[in-house]
Structure 1
Amino acid sequence: MSHLKEYYLNNSVGERDLRTMMDNLPRLVMLLDLEGTILYWNGGGEKVFGYKAGEIVGKPVWRLYSGRESDNFIDELSFLKKGEDLSLEVEGRHKDGSRIWLDVKRTIIENSRGEPVILGTASDISLQKKAEFELTKSQARTEAILEAATEGIITIDREGIIQNFNQAAEEMFGYRSGEVVGKNVSKLMPSPYQEEHDQYLENYLETGERKIIGIGRQVRGKRKDGSVFPIELAVSEVQFGDEIIFTVLIKDISSQRKLENEILKIAEGERRRIGHELHDGLGQMLSGISLISRNLARKLEANGLPAADEVLEISKMIREADEHARELAHGLAHIDLENEGLQAALSRLCERNEELTEIPCVFECPNDIEIEKLTVALHLYRIAQEAINNAVKHGQATKVFVRLEANENKKRLQLVVEDNGKGFSATEKEKHAGMGINTMKYRSHILGGKLNITETPEGWTRVICSIPSADIETLNKI
């Protein structure tokens, strides 16, 4: 106290002014002897503990603190005598018996007689502690919800750094939380998503253009063992002041994809069966009926009966129906991808279409592309087939080009179908998308890719099915 008094007196501040200032401080300032007895108590002490100076001076300091006795003071004194300042948060006892949290600081100084005394301060931090407790409780509750969730939940910051990684995500990706927290989320992605992620996040923060956030998307994830699997993402964004946190909900759709592939296999089997029935069953019957009707027409004509022309017309119509049935059968069943490969099958598809429609349909494949998995090749074939049919029947195209290619770094495989038909606007695509377009999109998703329908600068309609090469390699191994 004498040091404080001397400082203020040297700066033209009187003792009364000094006491007034000390008593109006919002925190407790006190002096203790080395036995722990309170020697001085400012007005702030009443604000903190409720005691006036006359009620507490001469009393042991430990009566102010819950569960702390003289032994605690002895330990603290030993620490202070080493020349260290003491700072701690402890629970105190208010005059009315209530408990308060305190930020306590103590140091040893000398009084005017050169005797060591303890200068102590204390601030009431009960509100701060309550807020911290509520925050801790809220965090614990949030963590409990995250850990109980059956879906993988990951939170990342604006740099893509993982902040939280729940138990379901651990089981899904094979990493423990400690292995990925603090790492970039692209660690959980295969190529090319891994290379594209940071650029996408940067573009979003700069432009606000959303491709996944608030929309959802089906992509591929990469486990710790390097295996790739299909996942469905739902991303939400929360802003805390200047900080942005993204929460990613992840669902492993491997079983769903497997089931969908099985359903498509069954559907393809039925498609082939119906094709064979049309060709071998209905087609043969129509051929037989056409032959009988032609013979009947000849007999009627030989006998000079007027019905000969009508029967001949019936025979002609049956022959046309036979040809139509065989065309349908060809489209349904006549694909030998296993023996001839996708490139040859697409080339023959274009040739066949040109023969039937008399519309130029050109196939190009600048790269040597090998797709081992039959179902992968079949999906791409059906996408091309549907796009060509749409171009001819609905787009009224007079030229069609089909291209199978790998991009420059061979990270993506692209199937492109372009036509000079009338096309349709983006609004019309969303509003009137029929079964054909939806089926093409569905098959693209099955392959882990995406389908885009755009317009070229020349006004042509362009259908692009783009699939990461890593996904093709993964599907080839399944």
Structure 2
Amino acid sequence: MSRITPLNKLTSVNRLTTLYVLALGSVGLLVIVGQLLIQHSIAQQHNDSTVINVAGRQRMLSQRIAKAALALHVRPDTARVSELEEAVALWIGSHEGLIRRDGAMHLEGANSKEVQALFDRIEGPRQRIVSAAQQLARIETHEGASSAEVGGLVAAILESEALFLSGMDAIVSQYEREANAKVDHVRRLELGLLFATLAILALEARFIFRPAVANIRSTVGRLEESEAGRARIAEELRAIFDSVPALIMHCDTDGTIVRLNRSGATIIGESIEKLTGICVYDLFTGQEARLRDEDLQIVRSGEPQLGLLHYLRNAQGDTRWLRMNKIPHRGADGQTAGIIMFAVDVSEQKRLERRLMELRSEEERQLGYNLHDGLGQELSGILYASRVLANRLKAKDPESAAQAAEIIALVKRGVETVRGIAKSLRSIGDDPDALSKSLRELAAVTRETAGLKCEFEEKGSVLLFERDIAEHLYRIAQEAVNNAIRHSGAQQVWIRLAQGDEETVLEIADDGRGMDTVGMRRERSAGLDPEGMGLSIMEHRAELVGGRFQIESRPNHGTKVRCAISM
């Protein structure tokens, strides 16, 4: 089978178009010619009927003249003379109009040779009738004619009338034959036009419509094949779309769900039909503002948002953690027309991570207890024994006693260090206000051990009944304060804790040298932890409890670490 190229298609379409225009123009021309012929034929028939009527009236007028002449012969009368004169005048005018084919009388055209010959044949009788009638009218008007003279004129009229009537019958017949011949001629022309039209239509059907129908059938076949292929591809894509073990959702710029896959509906715990058309923000209770801000930034910048973490509660009441990427969907004009969300359910991963953090915290607490009760007690024993030894050496060996005093100082610092480490590794407690107490104690210890100002500010009375949230917030504060001590060169640190109707906020700020947050993000995206500050650990702890972790910093303008948790 030969392959149809776009050029061949274009050539075929142009050829069919040209032929169709020619055929349509020919049919239109034939219709116009046919209409002109019909109008011309109607006009001719109207003219011929007028001529025949006038010719027929001439016979009637000649009979009228004869009757008027007889009436005058029987009883002369002025009224009858006028009637005769009027009939003769009308008869003469009509006869001359027929010969000249007077347009004023609507006798268009010209007489044929046959008709003109017939008029010439009756010219003698016509003139004798005119002459006799005019003489009769003059004689009767002056009342000077004898009865014999009047009778002679009447006889001449009657004799010529018979010849005139016979001639006019021949003329009328000739007119009728010529009119019928014209009608037959027009009929033949119309038949010719009809056959020409039918021939053009037949050629059009053969060379235009038949190829056009074949092209249409071929095009429809290709379209049906293309549609079937498109349907198969759409079905395959839909199967892939539904089988991807992740939530794939398309929303418009207002957050209305346009479509989503079956796996996503399963994660949410509702049917696709029920979810389509609702606002996606309604699924993420307590995170609406954050989601709107993310989507607004995508719409304004046209850039995707990657690695976002959100949670939702499905229809069964289970909390599902989703790690999602949001990608702008652009319309035909290139502008952002919607947002495509690709989210993976990381609930099990988050559960395991939380469990690992719990185990780590438990190990840290256990390590703290071991340090305090084990190494701490042993160091305390060494400290006590060293003091006893130093007292004994004071009198016997002052120099050794001084060395013992140095050992006592070292051991004492070791005991304090162990106690500090043990204290930092201990759990903050189970009371609702344990976080506030622990942060206040952290500020006091920082002032004592680090030699810088550290203030704790609490807005209202913050009560947390979920121990793991309080524990993670405390560890975040601990890490942020340690970073400020080790890396920022700060003179003052502020620890702030506030609780509102919708969220609990923890902030740790310092007046240190600050940092380049852009470079920090670049290093972190490359897998590096800048300056060993443990920012990834803080962020990870915030994610474990559903918090939003932020760092605000500029060189020489201090640093602020913020963690907000929706309640």
TM-score scaled by length of structure 1: 0.70
**Cα distance change, pair 7–368 in 1 and its aligned pair in 2 (3 A):** farther
**Cα distance change, pair 234–199 in 1 and its aligned pair in 2 (3 A):** closer
Gaps spanning 5+ residues in structure 2: where? 1-23, 35-192, 524-529
Partner of 1:205: 299
Aligned length: 377
SS of corresponding position for 2:431: helix
Pairwise CA distance, 1:350:
1.3
Amino acid at match of 2:342: L
Q: CA–CA distance in 2 between the matches of 1:437 and 1:285?
A: 35
Q: CA–CA distance in 2 between the matches of 1:441 and 1:198?
A: 21
**Cα distance change, pair 434–305 in 1 and its aligned pair in 2 (3 A):** closer
Among 535, 538, 541, the residue aligned to 1:440: 538
Task: Choose 133-142 or 451-460, whichever is displaced more.
Answer: 451-460
**Cα distance change, pair 174–162 in 1 and its aligned pair in 2 (3 A):** same
Higher helix share: 2
Residues 1:44 and 2:209 are matched in the alignment: yes
Partner of 1:139: 234
Residues 1:315 and 2:408 are matched in the alignment: yes
Partner of 2:483: 390
Q: CA–CA distance in 2 between the matches of 1:279 and 1:461?
A: 34
**Cα distance change, pair 134–434 in 1 and its aligned pair in 2 (3 A):** farther
1:216-241 Cα offsets, whole Å, 9 max, x none, are 21112242356543211123345463
Q: CA–CA distance in 1 between the matches of 2:505 and 2:536?
A: 18
Q: CA–CA distance in 2 between the matches of 1:261 and 1:402?
A: 25
Amino acid at match of 2:287: P
Residues 1:181 and 2:276 are matched in the alignment: yes
The equivalences for 1:321-400 within 5 A come to 321-333=414-426, 335-338=428-431, 340-400=433-493
Q: CA–CA distance in 1 between the matches of 2:463 and 2:344?
A: 31
SS of corresponding position for 1:369: coil
**Cα distance change, pair 46–148 in 1 and its aligned pair in 2 (3 A):** same
Q: CA–CA distance in 1 between the matches of 2:258 and 2:561?
A: 39
Task: Choose 218-227 or 351-360, whichever is displaced more.
Answer: 218-227
Partner of 2:510: 419
Pairwise CA distance, 1:433:
5.4
Q: CA–CA distance in 2 between the matches of 1:20 and 1:413?
A: 92
Partner of 1:128: 223
Equivalent pair of 1:22/1:44 in contact (CA under 8 Å): no
Pairwise CA distance, 1:21:
10
TM-score scaled by length of structure 2: 0.60
Q: CA–CA distance in 2 between the matches of 1:234 and 1:204?
A: 11
Amino acid at match of 1:394: H
Pairwise CA distance, 1:271:
0.6
Pairwise CA distance, 1:391:
0.9
Equivalent pair of 1:237/1:245 in contact (CA under 8 Å): yes
**Cα distance change, pair 273–201 in 1 and its aligned pair in 2 (3 A):** closer
Q: CA–CA distance in 2 between the matches of 1:372 and 1:347?
A: 18
Pairwise CA distance, 1:458:
8.2
Q: CA–CA distance in 1 between the matches of 2:206 and 2:531?
A: 82
Partner of 1:289: 382
Amino acid at match of 1:438: S
Q: CA–CA distance in 2 between the matches of 1:466 and 1:315?
A: 46
Larger of the two Rg values belongs to structure: 2
Q: CA–CA distance in 1 between the matches of 2:350 and 2:516?
A: 31
Pairwise CA distance, 1:13:
9.2
Equivalent pair of 1:5/1:18 in contact (CA under 8 Å): no
Give the share of equivalent positions with the same residue, in percent.
Answer: 26
Q: CA–CA distance in 2 between the matches of 1:196 and 1:22?
A: 72
Amino acid at match of 1:385: Q
Amino acid at match of 2:489: Q
Equivalent pair of 1:337/1:378 in contact (CA under 8 Å): no
Q: CA–CA distance in 1 between the matches of 2:555 and 2:486?
A: 23
SS of corresponding position for 2:483: helix
Partner of 1:37: none
Q: CA RMSD in A?
A: 3.4
